[in-house]
Amino acid sequence: MLGKETLKKEKISVVDMKAILSKRKKESELNVDQEEALKYVKKFSLLTPKNKKELLKELKSLGFSDAFIYQILDTVPKKLEDLVALIPKKEKYEEEKLKKTVDLVNKHAG
């Protein structure tokens, strides 16, 4: 067994994963898989924890599904076409809502 037992399961973003693994690395040595995951999230985490929290709150207020919200947080789509590609198959959203989302992403991701 590589790690300890699972205490709970919840969706997290790459921003959260970066924070968790960074904290764990300070406390003890990471295993190979954790080191690789940390390298990945350091490279691809495009939001700060504060910006992620604010963006998450705003996306939830728009009524998006959790699956779609976490796709947005992890990929940070800065163009409408990129955002549309992330929409889960069974979901549909108005174009104005999607444009507002792109504006929010650009605001928080800089």
Domain positions in the chain:
14-44, 49-109
Q: What is the pLDDT of residue 85?
A: 96
Does residue 110 register a pLDDT over 90? no
Nearest to 66 by CA among 35, 88, 40, 95: 88
Query: How confident is the model over 4-28, as pLDDT tens digits?
Result: 677 788 888 999 999 999 999 999 9
Q: Contact at 8 Å (CB) between 86 and 68?
A: yes
Q: Contact at 8 Å (CB) between 101 and 83?
A: yes
**Predicted TM-score of the model (pTM):** 0.84
Q: What is the pLDDT of residue 2?
A: 53
Instruction: Give the domain 49-109 fold.
Output: DNA polymerase; domain 1 (1.10.150)
Between CA 56 and CA 53 the distance in angstroms is 5
